Every structure is written in C-alpha cells, then in structure tokens.
Chain A
Amino acid sequence: MNQLFKRLSPAGDAAGEDLSFHPDDAPLAIHDLTVAYHRKPVLWDVDLDIPDGKLVGVVGPNGAGKSTLIKACLDLIPRASGEIGIYGKPYREQRHLVAYVPQRESVDWDFPVSALDVVAMGAYRRLGWFRRVTKEESEKARDCLDQVGIGHLADRQISQLSGGQQQRVFLARALMQDAELYLMDEPFAAVDAATEEAIVSLLRTLSEKGKTCLVVHHDLATVTTYFDWLVLLNMRVVASGPSETTFTRENLQKTYGGKLSLLEKAAEALKHTVD
C-alpha cells in the first residue's frame, strides 16, 4: 500500500492531463481514511482496495458513512486523514476517469433544464471552460439517453419526468462522462421496477466493458444478485470481498448491530441465496 502512494507522481502530470491510466493500479485504493463532521467521526480508519472491473455494492445501516465515502473519493468533503488513490493517483489528476451519480434528492428537479441538457453536463469536463456543447456531444447525449431507455424524453423539462426517469437521466449523464470508475449513490432508491431493471442491465454492460462500478445499495435481498463484490460499511469497513464469501450472517450482524428488523431481512435474504 505504501508503495502505491509513493508512486503518486506530483509533478509528472502538471503539464497536461495524462489520459492513460495504469491498469496495474486499483481503480480505487483507500488508505487510513477518516472523515468527521463537526468533530464527530463518520468514517474511521477506512482501508479499502477495489479490484478492477467489479460491480461493487456498498451496504450498511443509515448513517454508516456510505455517501460520505463516495464524496470523500471525489474530494467533495475534506478528510481528517488518509489517502485515496484513483488508478494510483489523487482524484484531481484523474477526474476524467471517474463518473459520479449523486442521490436523486441532491438537486432541484424544478430547475429549468431539459433531460438532454442535464445529460450533456457529463461532457462539460471534456469541453472545458467557455466552450459550448457541440453538436457531436449533443448527439452523444441523445445516445446515452437511448441507452437507459428514455431517448424519447430528451426534450422534456426534468420536472415532468417520473422519479425513475430522473434517476435514468443521472445515469445517462454518468455514461456521458466516458469514465472507467463509476461512483453511484443509491441509484436504486425509490425507483420503479422498470428502472431497476434498466439500471441492472446498464451495470452489467459497464462491467462487461471492464468498467468498475461502486454502488451504494440499501436492499439486502438483491445485493448478492446485483453485485459480485461487497463492501460492508459501518463507520469502519466491516468486510470487503467477493459477494459469496462476504455476505455472511456474522458479517451482517457486525455491520447492522442490534437493528433487528434489518437483521431479519438479512436472514431472509440469506435464505434466498441458499435456495
């Protein structure tokens, strides 16, 4: 791990963005991460290595720091200590490799933009300051909307979309970013069955292309079917590994503590996987 961070080259890429990335480095390597809000720790001493090309589910109780973990990876919140490497380098040098799907409630859906406008925002980093969205990028944005099955709604104002459709707009925007690592915060929260299916098939497609997806998830019943790698989080990393070996009663008990109703759900889910 130390070697990995020694390899972070501070000067090397200052001149221009190095669009290549080093496949030997983990898409996401977190070392000793601690994050606190008002001196109250939310994440404590988190060590995590996410292997390449996996669909990773992050589960844990409310307040476990799942969203915080993602935001810390994106430098959106200050960290008290620790280092995060994205393909071996700090995030600010690797923006082009990471796409972010925030929680749906994080924005105002009454905002006067169309679905296509929002998806086109995924191209802004490529365009840089001042330059307008080109015709090609606009076409590509339509393509991305097609990929999530709502191409026909491209010109709708976003408040006229259902919750599931709004979530798909966010996913299309992430696709637009052409990233290698996708960080998604609760994309399955409160969506209809059709959207859930669309997201799952999208995740599979991304995985087949060798992309890595880290997805905050809340439904223990589906977590082993959707994801091949699991991170159980409750302020610390309780367990991280392949779904089959990580999704155990013992690990879940450690993660969810005394929250009985959730434990029962987990037991139910375990039964499903055994069947």
Chain B
Amino acid sequence: MNWTSFDTWIVVVGALCAVACALPGCFLVLRKMSMMGDAISHAVLPGLAIAFLITGTRASVPMFFGAAIAGVLTALFTQWIARFGNVDRGAAMGIVFTTLFAIGLIMIRQAADHVDLDPGCVLYGALEMTPLDTVGQTGIPRAAIVNGGALLANLLIILVLFKEFRLGAFDGALADTLGFSSQFLHYLLMTMVAVTTVAAFESVGSIIVIAMLIVPPATALLLTRKLPAMLIIASITAAASALIGHVGALIVPGWFGMDATTTSGMIALAAGILFTLAWLFSPTEGIVVKKLRSRELADPVFEESLAGK
C-alpha cells in the first residue's frame, strides 16, 4: 500500500464529515427519528437546486440556506401530513421526502443539467477527489474546511444546549411545560441535520451521510448508558470508520485481485462492521454477554424489584 498525503486528507475529510453527522445523529436515534436523517438528506436536493438556480453559483452560503430551508420544510410537512392527514409519521415522512427528492432530481435534470451539479455526485460523492480542490495556497482541501465547519457548529450547539437537547429528547412534554419549546429544539436539530448533510454532500454523498447519522450513534448506545459518553463513543466510532474504510478501500479489493474501490462505500461498511462487533461483544448489551448472563440464575435488578426497593 502506497500511503500519500492524499490518503491522509481523504481520511481527515471522511472523519470530519462522519463525526459532524454522528453528533446530531445521537439525538435522532434517541428521539426514535432515525429515518428523519434519511428523509432530510434526500429532501435537501430541491433546496440545493433552487439555491443554485437563483444564485447561479455553487457557493457554499446559498447552498446551506437552501438546504436548511428544505430541511425545516421536510420536518414541517411531515408534521402537517401526520397531523391533518391522520397517517403514521413514518408514512408522512416517506411521502414528503420522496416527493421533494423527485422534484429536486427533475430540477437538476431539466434546469441545471448543463452545469456540473451532477446527481450521481450528490448521491455517491467523490471523496477521493477532495484533496485536489484546495483553498488558496494552504493545501487544505475545501471539503475539510466545510465539513470541519459543520462539525464545529454542531459541537458548539450541542455543548451550549446540551441540557435542553437532552430534556427535549427524553421528555418533550416536560420541556414544554418548563418553557423550553420542544418544537424549537426539534427544528434546530432538523436544521443541523440538513446543514451537515449539505456539507457532506459533495465529499461523501448522501448515502454515507445516512449511515453516519445513525450507525455510529447506534453503536455507541450499545456500549454506554450515559449521554456524554454516547456522544464521545459515537464520534470515535465515526472517525474510526473513516480510517478503516479508506484503508479497506485500498487493500481489501487487492485480496481479490481487483482495483481499489470507493472509499465512501467502505466507510459505511466499516461503520456497519463496528456496529456488528458492538452488538456481539458489548459488555452490557452484547449478545454474547446476554447469553452468558441468562445462564446465571441471579439477576440483581430483578431481585431488587421483587424486594420492592
């Protein structure tokens, strides 16, 4: 394997993006809204297309605004359809994001086809190309700065509003009675997801975003029962997936006599493998431990509840 500074940057961009997704992802998983990440990452497409059509550039700022608005609209439409259409929230989500995604695709095909806003690129990304597009003379890839910015923003918001986010995710009704609007917290989270998704779009594509929003948090939840630890473990898992994914993309195909494969795909696969390991071997929730434990007769929690403590 021939490791260059290119490879380092690919891993760094992948890791920044993965951690930026994993942080809001923890709250999506805890709110049992994992599919919302999927929905929003698709539904931002028309937002991007409209932002592009209005401004005529692919500059980041209008793109982020377009995405943030599309993200909030997705959440809003989902809620409306669920309430007034009297359908399940999952179904409402499915209606909204497929429709918006389709509109976005049509817009790109019809109006923006002559420029380089490529649907394939939006879906699968081009992580391997990111080190080529650097900012000025610094040699730092633009994608590293964009994804790093998203990570920093998410980190700051979660640090500042940690208490509120936890309350909103655990007991929205209590949050409302105490005067912390659960609606506001909900839409703030949705905006974070939308903006993070767009930051990640070009580099890793939307499919990896969906994996990174959910898989590292789900892995962390198998390993800890404390929220701060969950955020940290999810971040480590996400970053590790990026590293393992890129290394895997370089060497694994070689074992079968093939060329290196796409890093994005391997990152998602690495995250899946890490999840499987946690699921099997977690010291508290793992299948192996649970099997061993079920053989023991004494269960301290059960005994205590019998004693009515």
**Interface residues of A, Cβ cutoff 8 Å to B:** 38, 71, 74-76, 92, 95, 98, 100, 102, 106-108, 111-114, 117-118, 121, 124-125, 127, 129-133, 150, 153, 157, 159-160, 162-165, 192-195
Of B169, B177, B304, B308, which is in contact with the most chain A CB atoms at under 10 Å from its CB?
Answer: B177
Is B189 engaged at the interface, CB distance under 8 Å to the other chain? no
> B218 within 8 Å of A by Cβ?
no
Cβ-based interface call for B164 (8 A): yes
A157 to B177, CA, bound (A): 24
How many contacts A-B (CB < 8 Å)?
91
Interface string of B146-175 (1 = CB under 8 A from A): 000000000000001111101101110110
Partner of B308, one of A107, A113, A132, A194: A194
Take A112-B227, A159-B225 as given contacts and tell me if A121 and B305 are in contact as well, using a CB distance cutoff of 8 Å.
Answer: no
- Cα A106 to Cα B170 in complex, Å, equals 10
- The yes or no answer to B69 lying at the interface (CB within 8 A) is no
Can you name the residue of chain B whose Cβ is closest to the Cβ of A92? B179
Question: Separation in Å of the B115 CB from the closest CB of chain A?
Answer: 43
Determine the chain A residues whose CB is within 8 A of the CB of B295 once the complex forms: none
**CB pairs A–B below 8 angstroms (28 shown):** A75-B176, A76-B177, A95-B178, A95-B179, A102-B174, A106-B173, A107-B170, A111-B169, A112-B30, A112-B224, A112-B225, A112-B226, A112-B230, A113-B166, A117-B166, A118-B170, A121-B167, A124-B167, A124-B178, A129-B180, A130-B160, A130-B163, A157-B225, A162-B304, A163-B305, A164-B305, A165-B305, A194-B309
Whether B5 sits at the interface, judged by CB under 8 Å, is no
Are A129 and B164 in contact, CB atoms less than 8 angstroms apart? yes
CB distance from B47 to the nearest CB of A (A): 29
Nearest CB to that of B161 among chain A residues? A130
CA distance A70 to B66 in the complex (A): 41
Contacts of A195 in B (CB 8 A): 308
**Nearest-Cβ distance from residue B76 to partner chain A, whole angstroms:** 17
Q: How far is the CA of A127 from the CA of B35 in the complex (A)?
A: 33
Please list the residues of chain B having a beta carbon within 8 angstroms of any beta carbon in chain A: 30, 32, 86, 160-164, 166-167, 169-171, 173-174, 176-180, 221, 224-227, 229-230, 301, 304-305, 308-309
Cα separation A124 to B185 with both chains bound (whole Å): 15
A102 touches B171 (CB 8 A): yes
Q: Closest CB of chain A to B219's CB: distance in Å? A: 13
The answer on a CB contact under 8 Å between B180 and A111 is no
| Given contact pairs A76-B177, A130-B161, a sample of 11 additional A-B residue pairs in the complex whose CB atoms are under 8 Å apart | A74-B177, A76-B176, A108-B32, A112-B225, A112-B227, A114-B226, A121-B170, A121-B171, A124-B180, A129-B164, A132-B162
Q: When the two chains form their complex, are residues B163 and A111 in contact, meaning their CB atoms are under 8 A apart? A: no
A150 B177 Cβ-Cβ under 8 A:
no
Q: A113-B227, A114-B226, A118-B170 are in contact. Are A125 and B309 (CB under 8 A)?
A: no
Could you say which residues of chain A place their CB within 8 Å of the CB of B221?
112
